[in-house]
C-alpha cells in the first residue's frame, strides 16, 4: 500500500502536491492551536473548585445550578416560539449556481446554502443553587445548549411568523420543496447549568467604596453648574463662593455622599457572572455534567495532539518523496 502511495505522490501534479503540503501545514498549525486551547480549558475546569453562590469569592469561579428566567418579558426563541433562557438561530436558503455550456445552455454547477437571517439572544437570566441566585450575562460565552435541531421548509421562515415548528416540519415532508433550512439552539428553563466565568457581587456590604473619591466627583459635578452653586451657597450675594461658603459646599457634598452610601449599604446584594476580563480565561456555559465536560476537552486535546503528529509526519514524508525524485 505504501509503495502504491509513493507511486501516486511521485507522479502527482506539482501544483496538487503544493496545495496538499499547504493543507498539511494548516492542519498542523490548527492542531497545535487546538492542543493548547483544549488542554488549557481541560486544566481550568479540572483545577477550579465548584463554589456556592453565597460563599463564592470575587473573581474567576465555577458554579452549578438551575437556570431560571428573570422577572419581566420572557425570552422567546424566534423559530420554535418556546420560552427559554438563551437561543441562537439561523435561516439559510438553497442557492443554485449554473454554468453556461458550449452551446450557451445552462447546466447546474452546484447548490449552496446562503444565510438569509440569523441571531443570538443577549438576555440576562438566573442561575439558582441552594444558597442563592446569580445573574448570568451570556455575552461572549462558549455555550453548549440542551436543544439543537435542524429542519427544512418550503419558504422563508420570518422571525415574526407565528407558525409553529411542527407546521414547518409538515411542509418539509416533500423533499422537492426543501428550499430553506432552519437551525435553532436553546437553553431551556430549569436546565442544569455549569458555568465558569467572572463572579462579581454588587450592592450590599461587599462592594468596596472610596468615600473621598465620591466626594471629589460630586464637587466636580457641582462646579459645572455655577449658577445652581451660587443660588444655594452664595449667602452674601456677591456672585462668588468665598472660603467660608466653600467649606459649606464641601460639608454638603460630604453629607450627600454619606447618605448615598448608607442607602447603598442596605440594598440587596446582587451576584453576577460574566465573561472574564482576562482573555486567557474561558467563559463557559454548558448543560453538560462537569465530568463530561472535562472528559470532552481531554479527548479534544488528545485528538489535536494526534492530528498534529499525523499532519506533520505526512508533510515531511510527502516532501521527502518529492525531493528524492
How does pLDDT run across 54-112, given as a tens digit for each residue? 889 999 999 999 999 998 889 999 998 999 999 999 999 888 765 555 554 544 555 78
Both 114 and 230 in one domain: the answer is no
Both 168 and 291 in one domain: the answer is yes
DSSP-based helix, strand, coil % in the chain, nearest 5: 40, 30, 30
Please report the pLDDT score of residue 100 as a whole number: 55
> How far from 212 is each of 241, 255, 263, 288, CA to CA, in Å?
22, 12, 17, 47
Q: How confident is the model at residue 303 (pLDDT cuts 50, 70, 90)?
A: very high
> Comparing C-alpha atoms, which of 74, 88, 77, 69 is closest to residue 162?
77
Q: How many domains does the chain have?
A: 2
pLDDT tens sequence across 168-188: 444 444 444 578 889 999 999
Q: How confident is the model at residue 319 (pLDDT cuts 50, 70, 90)?
A: confident
Both 161 and 67 in one domain: the answer is yes
Please state the rounded mean pLDDT for residues 127-137.
94
Please report the pLDDT score of residue 26 as a whole number: 95
Decide which of 265, 282, 298 is a domain's last residue: 265
Both 260 and 279 in one domain: the answer is no
CA-CA distance, 103 to 183, in Å (whole number)? 40
Both 197 and 258 in one domain: the answer is no
Both 46 and 125 in one domain: the answer is yes
In terms of residue numbers, what domain contains 137? 2-203+268-324
Both 40 and 116 in one domain: the answer is yes
CA-CA distance, 60 to 281, in Å (whole number)? 8
Amino acid at each position: 500500500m505504501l509503495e502504491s502511495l509513493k507511486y501516486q505522490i511521485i507522479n502527482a501534479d506539482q501544483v496538487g502536491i503544493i496545495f496538499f503540503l499547504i493543507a498539511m501545514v494548516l492542519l498542523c498549525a490548527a492542531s497545535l492551536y487546538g492542543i493548547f486551547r483544549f488542554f488549557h480549558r481541560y486544566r481550568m475546569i479540572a483545577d477550579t473548585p465548584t463554589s456556592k453562590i453565597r460563599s463564592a469569592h470575587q473573581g474567576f469561579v465555577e458554579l452549578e445550578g438551575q437556570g431560571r428566567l428573570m422577572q419581566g418579558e420572557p425570552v422567546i426563541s424566534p423559530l420554535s416560539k418556546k420560552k427559554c433562557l438563551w437561543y441562537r438561530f439561523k435561516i439559510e436558503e438553497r442557492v443554485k449556481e449554473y454554468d453556461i455550456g458550449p452551446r450557451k445552455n445552462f447546466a447546474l454547477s452546484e447548490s449552496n446554502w446562503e444565510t438569509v437571517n440569523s441571531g443570538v439572544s443577549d438576555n440576562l437570566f438566573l442561575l439558582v443553587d441552594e444558597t442563592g441566585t446569580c445573574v448570568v450575562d451570556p455575552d461572549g460565552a462558549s455555550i453548549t445548549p440542551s436543544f439543537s435541531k435542524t429542519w427544512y421548509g418550503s419558504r422563508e421562515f420570518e422571525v415574526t411568523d407565528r407558525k409553529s415548528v411542527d407546521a414547518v416540519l409538515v411542509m418539509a415532508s416533500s423533499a422537492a420543496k426543501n428550499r430553506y433550512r432552519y437551525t435553532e439552539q436553546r437553553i431551556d428553563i430549569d436546565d442544569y447549568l455549569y458555568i465558569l466565568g467572572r463572579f462579581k457581587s454588587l450592592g450590599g456590604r461587599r462592594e468596596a467604596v472610596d468615600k473621598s473619591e465620591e466626594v471629589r466627583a460630586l464637587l466636580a459635578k457641582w462646579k459645572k453648574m455655577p449658577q445652581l452653586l451660587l443660588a444655594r451657597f452664595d449667602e452674601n450675594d456677591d456672585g462668588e463662593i468665598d472660603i467660608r461658603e466653600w467649606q459649606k459646599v464641601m460639608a454638603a457634598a460630604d453629607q450627600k455622599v454619606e447618605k448615598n452610601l448608607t442607602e447603598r449599604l442596605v440594598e440587596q446584594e446582587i451576584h453576577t457572572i460574566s465573561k472574564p476580563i482576562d482573555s486567557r480565561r474561558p467563559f463557559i456555559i454548558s448543560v453538560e455534567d462537569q465530568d463530561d465536560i472535562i472528559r470532552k476537552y481531554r479527548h479534544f486535546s488528545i485528538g489535536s495532539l494526534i492530528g498534529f503528529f499525523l499532519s506533520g509526519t505526512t508533510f515531511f514524508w510527502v516532501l521527502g518523496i518529492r525531493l528524492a525524485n
